[in-house]
Structure formats: structure tokens, C-alpha cells
Amino acid sequence: MLCADQSGGEVHEMYCMSQTKPTDAEACNTHACEFLWITGEWTECSVTCGQGYQRRLVSCSEVHAGQDNYEYGHQSSSHCPGTPPENYQECDAGPCPSRETWRMGIWGLCSVTCGEGWMERTVQCVTSEGEASNRCPMSARPEARKACGNPSCHLPTSCREAQGMTGFPVDGEQILNIQGRALKIYCAGMQTDHPGEYITLMTGEAENFSEVFGFRLNDPTECPSNLSRREDCNCRRDYTAAGLSTFTKVRLDLSKMQIITTDWQFASTREGRHVPFATGGDCYSAARCPQGRFSINLSGTGFHVAEQTKWISHGNYAVADIHKSQDGSRVTGMCGGYCGKCTPSTSSGLLVRVT
């Protein structure tokens, strides 16, 4: 603020002392400041198909009213009213095209612990959603089976060979190479020139027995009590071929992979006569009412009864009701006639295979 003469030139303030000096400042913009949330444009979806997300810029800015538009000043998120707008949202870019691919499982164990064998894994064609499909190119199918082995292992293949490798040990369990598998075999007679191989029956005598039933109906044309066994029947107990034998080990002929059913070294005859392994019979009835029984359980031994093993009936009115488990480890039979029995076929014998 200046003191001026009539021509407008600046003079000393003493010439203006008789006049009231005008104010040189006054208040302006006395209304409260306004802050608003400002949002930017959403970005494109983060994926080209399926579920994704989008982002945008969100800020709190001071707003000034200009002549034709709004101007934005400094930012301060603490001054904006309410909850800030979302800066993130999900988006759907539409269904993805289905793509088939081969899915592989892990390799299983080698089929042998000694020598050359094979291992397998699952190979499945699936869509991108994990559903089974048959549209994968077969030319790109991964292998589901491959060779494996342990050429460095040298296990004996018989008790005789084990005897030669270790001198003359006592009878007992030995690990032998049976058809490429390392299996536990009981070697008996190791102090002799001809030791024998035996399979130790892990389930014991309760599930490894053979019986020829000793009771005979007074009227052999009947089949009383719906095939059930009752000793208070109208019968007599005088069948001289009857017997019950149980087994803890059975002799194995390695050259034929056949169980020798008439080896009694590890068998006990509880009553009557010796009954060979896998044999049952009776002289009970002529009306298809078998009472003789046998049971084989090779579970845990590494062996199973071969599919080629068949049972045949012998004698008068003989029948054989044979049941095998799916894996061949168990076989049970009800056999008999008047008089009759069942045994493994003489053409094949009781063949076993490595599991």
C-alpha cells in the first residue's frame, strides 16, 4: 500500500497521515474444503479365460470448483467421507477351451527283488477339469510299464544251493530267489545231501487242514439238516478211511512249482488216518450232501494256487464244491459221496505260482 500525490507519484507517508489507511489484507475462501474419492479405470482381466481379477486406482483428493470444471488438489485419504471404493474385483473371462493331457501316477515297486523284472504306473487321459477323456493323442502317451531289476543280487535258488554257500547250517528259514522274487523258504534236512524246501503257512493249522468225515448215514439216500453237520444224526461213525490232518508247512517241488500233498513232516493227524493236503471226502450220503472238508490259505507266503490247478472227484456219487479267492491265496472245498472224495487233478497236481 503506497502514499501518492494527485498525479499518482509516490510520496512520503507523512502526506497521507490525515487519511485513514486502507486495509491491505482480507479473508477469502471462507467455506470448508471438500474431499472426494477419485477412482481410475479398471484394468483388463488378469486371465484370458476362466476366473481372474481386475484392479483400479482409488485416491482421496481435495476438490476446487473452477469456472468450468473441478480441479483436484492435494490428497489425504483421512479426509474423505465413508468407506473407500473397492480397488479389486473378480472377473470372468469366459470358459476356457477344454484341453486333454496325459496324467501319470508314480511308479510302483519292481516286480522282483532279484534279477530282471518290471514296474508299472497308471496313465490316464484327462481334461483340464480333471475328467476322464479319450481324446489324448496316443502317439504322446507316456509308458505305463518299464523294465527294472537288481542285477547285483545273488541269492540261492534252492536249499541245496544255500547249503553250499553257507556250509551246513541248521534247518530254518532262508531267503531264496524263486522265479525272480526273494521269498522266505524253510529249508529242512540241511545236514543231509538232499535238503527240502517247505512253505511256512502263515495262517497256521486252523486254515490249513484236510478231513475225511467219519460219520455215515443209516439211510444214504437222505441229506438231513440242509447240509449242516450234526453228530446227533441218524448215522454211525464207522468209516475206516476217515481222518483229520492239519499242516504248518507244506513241501514244495521247485522244479515243478508243485506242492507235495503227501509230505507229513510238518503235519499232524488229529484223528484217524493221514489225509493229504487239499483233500476232502466222506462216506456220508449218496444225495449230493458232502461233509468232507479241506482248507488252503497261502496268505503272506508269496505264493498262490495256480489257475491251472483243478480238483476232481473220485468214488461213488462223489461231488466237489470248490471255492477260490480272487487272488488265489485261499481255496476251500466241501467234498464227499457214498463213498467219495476230491483231490487235485493227477495231471497237474497242486500247482502254485509266485504272487
Bigger pLDDT: 287 vs 28 = 287
Region of poorest pLDDT, from 118-122, 127-131, 189-193, 321-325: 127-131
- pTM score above 0.75: no
In this predicted structure, the answer to whether residue 164 has a pLDDT above a threshold of 90 is no
Evaluate whether residue 311 is within a structural domain: yes
- Give residue 67's pLDDT: 43
Residues 216 and 313 in one domain: yes
CB 318 within 8 A of CB 350: no
Assess whether 225 and 314 both reside in one domain: yes
Shared domain for 109 and 140, answered yes or no, is: yes
146 and 214 in one domain? no
Asked whether the predicted pLDDT for residue 32 surpasses 80, the reply is no
Residue 239 counted as domain residue: yes
CATH of the domain at 141: 2.20.100
Q: What is the pLDDT of residues 138-161, one digit of tens each?
A: 999 999 999 987 666 788 999 999
At residue 349, does pLDDT exceed 90?
yes
What's the rounded mean pLDDT across residues 32-41? 81
**Of 202, 200, 158, whose CA–CA distance to 179 is shortest?**
158
Q: Which domain holds residue 137?
A: 101-150
**270 in the same domain as 170:** no
- Own/partner contacts of 225-231, CB < 8 Å, gap of 24 or more, are 227/289, 227/290, 229/291
**Residue 135: pLDDT above 80?**
yes
Q: Answer yes or no: do 109 and 175 share one domain.
A: no
Residue 70 lies in a domain: no
The CA distances from residue 206 to 105, 201, 229, 247, in Å, are 40, 10, 18, 9
Short-list 334, 222, 232, CA closest to 279: 334
Q: pLDDT digits over 278-332, tens only?
A: 999 999 999 999 999 999 999 999 999 999 999 999 999 999 999 999 999 999 9
